[in-house]
Amino acid sequence: RHLVLCLMLATLSTSELVIDVQPSVISPEITPQLVINCSITNNQVQQLDLIKSLTLSRYNENTKEFNDLFTLNSSTLDLKQQLQLKYSQVSFGNLYITLSLPNPTQFDAKIYRCNATGDNADGANISLFAKMAVEYETNSTALIEEIRHCKKNENICKCSLKKVDHVEITQKSRFQFYASSEIIQELIEPLTLKCLFKTLIQGQKETSTLQSLYIIHEINGVIAFINKQQPVVTPIIDGHLKNVEGEIFDNESKDSYLQVTWNNLKHSESGKYFCEAHVNCSDGRFDKLIDIVTIIVRGSTLEDLVKVIQKLQRQAEVDKETIRENQNKIKIIKDLDTNQQDIISLKEDMNTTKQDIMSIKEDLDTKSQNILSIRENFDTNKHNMIIFQDNLTMTVANLSAALKEVENSVNKLLQYYLVPHRSCRNVISNETRVIVTLSSGLKVMCDTKT
């Protein structure tokens, strides 16, 4: 086995722009996975003041050119896949791209190139790159050793010699684990780890069911996990965990995921982080997919602290401006509250006035009803007066007629009693004897009983 490293720039340090392959020599049926890592280890490259993109390429012997596989935009962390690979798994983050090829074949034994593009101090666009070759060999001795090893550990290694079938490759291509950055400044920068189990491409048949996702640190153990029976993510480490979220979907249109974000990382939290996906296959088998991300938590320098202080000062200015805007908004709200109180008071006065008006209206209605009642009584009394007047007129007329008759009777009586009797004839009296003056002047006594 031997390793070929090509650096096309003499001033470029391998600690800055790195292309690394593991392993550098692959063998059929023996090598389980080929990992190619293209990265910038300390976030800067000599002669590049501004890094715009990072590209991982593979040499094509037919065209004698490098074909771009993946391009990472350093400002947006947007990864663009330039060439479709049948079976592959890619993870990416801040200035790194890691390509994993399960069960590599002779076709994967190529020269791989890591290319960084950006501007120098003069503003000119330049490109720097590093290359590394992967060799292919058929090693019967290694194959025999692998067989012996598997005989001793049959339960563990029995699957390492068989080819990965299409279902297993499909599952691995759906499984991704990546970090926001592989190099974190201690106690300054946050770290986000995301484990993703993607949905199938349209037309593919689902042959497995995701049961659980775990994020594990090689020393600290389980960081967080989620499973179908426990939809709420359960963080194991309390304290400085900032945010833990995730969900396992039965719906094929959504990707299942588990994500952890925390601040104030310490050097002890450096190391390898594993994402495990526990999958229940349709044939009854249980499978476990594993992906790895290596995180380096480096100590903060004085320059880093100065940058943080400058950033905090800028943020403080922004916060001050925000506070001023909020104070103005609060003042406006207070004025609105005062106006609202005045409006409420005016409304209460209007309601009181309205109540008074309604009370006056009710009094007017009552008085109007009384007037109507009086008017009705007056009309009734007037009608009664008319009837009484008619009755009185009739009574007076009847009385006048009766008086007339009485007068006539009285006159007759007067004529009878007042006219002097000239004889005892026709003398009517209650007395037994009445003296009557005759026409001759002679007075005689008349007997009224005979």
* 101 residue type, one letter: L
**Of 91, 117, 140, which residue is a domain's last?**
140
Task: Supply the pLDDT for residue 7.
Answer: 38
Q: Is residue 153 part of a domain?
A: no
* Cα atoms in the 13 Å half-sphere on the side-chain side of 13: 11
**Of 300, 323, 354, which residue is a domain's last?**
300
Pair 66, 112 in one domain: yes
Element (H, E) at 314: helix 302-418
Pair 296, 179 in one domain: yes
Pair 24, 125 in one domain: yes
Separation CA 104–CA 102 (nearest Å): 6
Q: Is residue 341 part of a domain?
A: yes
Contact 102, 114 (CB under 8 A): no
Q: Is residue 169 part of a domain?
A: no
Q: Is residue 288 part of a domain?
A: yes
Pair 120, 210 in one domain: no
Q: Cα Rg for the chain, rounded, in angstroms?
A: 61
Token digits of residue 210: 């995701």
Q: Is residue 395 part of a domain?
A: no
Q: Is residue 409 part of a domain?
A: no
What pTM was estimated for this model as a whole? 0.39
Separation CA 42–CA 420 (nearest Å): 173
Taking alpha carbons only, the member of 54, 58, 47, 52 closest to residue 10 is 47
| 77 class by beta-carbon count within 10 Å (0-12 exposed, 13-18 middle, 19+ buried) | middle
Pair 109, 62 in one domain: yes
Pair 130, 186 in one domain: no
Q: Is residue 190 part of a domain?
A: yes
Count of Cβ atoms closer than 10 Å to residue 98 Cβ = 24
What is the widest separation between alpha-carbon atoms in the chain? 207
Contact 56, 99 (CB under 8 A): yes
Instruction: Please give the tally of structural domains in the chain.
Output: 4
CATH number, domain at 228?
Answer: 2.60.40.10
Q: What residues have CB less than 8 Å from 177, skipping those under 6 apart?
A: 91, 193, 194, 195, 196, 273, 274, 275, 291, 292, 293
Pair 181, 293 in one domain: yes
Element (H, E) at 176: strand 175-179
Separation CA 378–CA 404 (nearest Å): 37
Pairing mode, strands 286-298 and 183-185 = parallel
Pair 193, 289 in one domain: yes
Q: How many helices (H) and strands (E) does the chain have?
A: 4, 24
Task: Supply the pLDDT for residue 148.
Answer: 55
Token digits of residue 87: 């079976």
Count of Cβ atoms closer than 10 Å to residue 172 Cβ = 23
Pair 330, 444 in one domain: no
Domain limits for position 345 = 304-388
Token digits of residue 363: 């009094």
Pair 97, 185 in one domain: no
Pair 295, 311 in one domain: no
Separation CA 314–CA 304 (nearest Å): 15
Q: Compute CA distances 387 → 52, 330, 398, whole Å.
A: 118, 83, 16
Separation CA 177–CA 319 (nearest Å): 35
Please report, in tens digits, the pLDDT of each residue of the chain (450 residues total): 333 333 333 333 444 788 999 999 988 767 888 999 998 877 777 778 888 999 999 998 888 899 999 999 988 888 888 876 656 788 888 888 999 888 888 888 899 999 999 888 888 888 888 999 999 886 555 555 555 555 555 444 344 334 444 445 555 568 899 999 999 988 888 999 999 998 776 656 666 788 888 898 888 788 888 888 676 665 555 455 568 888 888 766 788 899 999 888 888 888 889 998 888 877 777 788 889 999 999 887 888 788 888 888 888 988 988 898 898 888 888 888 788 888 888 888 888 888 889 889 888 888 888 888 888 888 888 888 899 888 888 888 888 888 888 888 877 776 566 566 667 777 777 788 888 887 777 888 888 776
Pair 75, 122 in one domain: yes
Q: Is residue 158 part of a domain?
A: no
Separation CA 145–CA 200 (nearest Å): 38
Q: Compute CA distances 371 → 355, 359, 384, whole Å.
A: 24, 18, 19
